[in-house]
Amino acid sequence: MTHPLLSLRDGPVARLRMNRPELHNAFDAMLIAALTGALEGLAGNDEIRVVVLEGDGPSFSAGADLNWMRGMATASEAENRDDALALARLMRTLDELPKPTIARVHGAAFGGGVGLVACCDIAIATPEAKFGLTESKLGLLPAVISPYVIAAIGARQARRWFATGELFDAPTALQIGLLHGVVPASELDAAVDRQIALLLKAGPRACAQAKALVRRVAAQTDRDRLDADNASLIAQLRVSPEGQEGLSAFLDKRKANWSR
């Protein structure tokens, strides 16, 4: 039987290639388990500096395997919840992996496929790639992937795409923040390689800590603490020489002299 995931190694770079091309790399319990296991293995491997996630065949990933999901109709609610929790674990493991990750996207990225893209630190796609949070059209919701997709594109965009399930193209995915770049298919590997080269030049710890930093700041919900920190910051800036010069220059209708 063909393995649903190919783990390839190129020096400090690991490539995880989803390998269900005939189903556009839709993921079932096996592929979810294989991806989660591979990521967990890479997390503690000091030789690996960058992880690239990609799909074999015509697409990156068509999301959850709809046959597998339909088949769960006869299972209990608890079994369905355990299944969904396995997907949640995959998304979180990818999101929190202490290595920079790159999504190399071509073809379709639908449903959970968008979730995988959103969980990667850098996402690059071809202009022909198409995207869709199609769950609502299936009578479902992008529930498990929602924290990651909303973190990537924001609540305002999520409201629209979650509700309509409308497909969107790569330029739109770039515009709403899901992607970092759109390049011709012939340049996709070179674009990914360029990001790998940049990441390999950065400190490995800094790379690991950068994503933890973003997560921590984004998760700060203590408004009192945020207000206090921000008030301290602006209070310092107001009385600083630079702040005073900027305020005075505006009020005196002159150009600011930052060397003062």
Ligand X SMILES: C/C(=C\C(=O)SCCNC(=O)CCNC(=O)[C@H](O)C(C)(C)COP(=O)(O)OP(=O)(O)OC[C@H]1O[C@@H](n2cnc3c(N)ncnc32)[C@H](O)[C@@H]1OP(=O)(O)O)CC(=O)O
Site of interaction with ligand X (CB under 6 A): 23-24, 26, 59, 62-67, 84, 108, 110-112, 115, 134-135, 138, 140, 142-145
**Spatial CA neighbour of 131 closest among 149, 155, 143:** 149
What three-state secondary structure class fits 126? coil
Measured from the CB of residue 197, what is the shortest distance to ligand X in angstroms? 32
Nearer of residues 26 and 102 to ligand X, judged by Cβ? 26
Pairing mode of beta strands 122-125, 101-105: parallel
Nearer of residues 4 and 112 to ligand X, judged by Cβ? 112
Pairing mode of beta strands 122-125, 181-182: parallel
Helix (H) or strand (E) holding 16, with range, is strand 13-18
Nearer of residues 2 and 259 to ligand X, judged by Cβ? 2
Measured from the CB of residue 137, what is the shortest distance to ligand X in angstroms? 7
Measured from the CB of residue 64, what is the shortest distance to ligand X in angstroms? 3
Measured from the CB of residue 151, what is the shortest distance to ligand X in angstroms? 14
Backbone angles phi, psi at 236, to 5 degrees: -65, -40
Nearer of residues 168 and 199 to ligand X, judged by Cβ? 168
Measured from the CB of residue 161, what is the shortest distance to ligand X in angstroms? 13
- The Cα-based distances of 221 to 59, 88, 102, 218 in angstroms read 37, 22, 28, 8
Contact 58, 4 (CB under 8 A): no
Nearer of residues 27 and 50 to ligand X, judged by Cβ? 27
Closest chain position to ligand X (CB): 111
Neighbouring CB atoms inside 10 A of 2's CB total 8
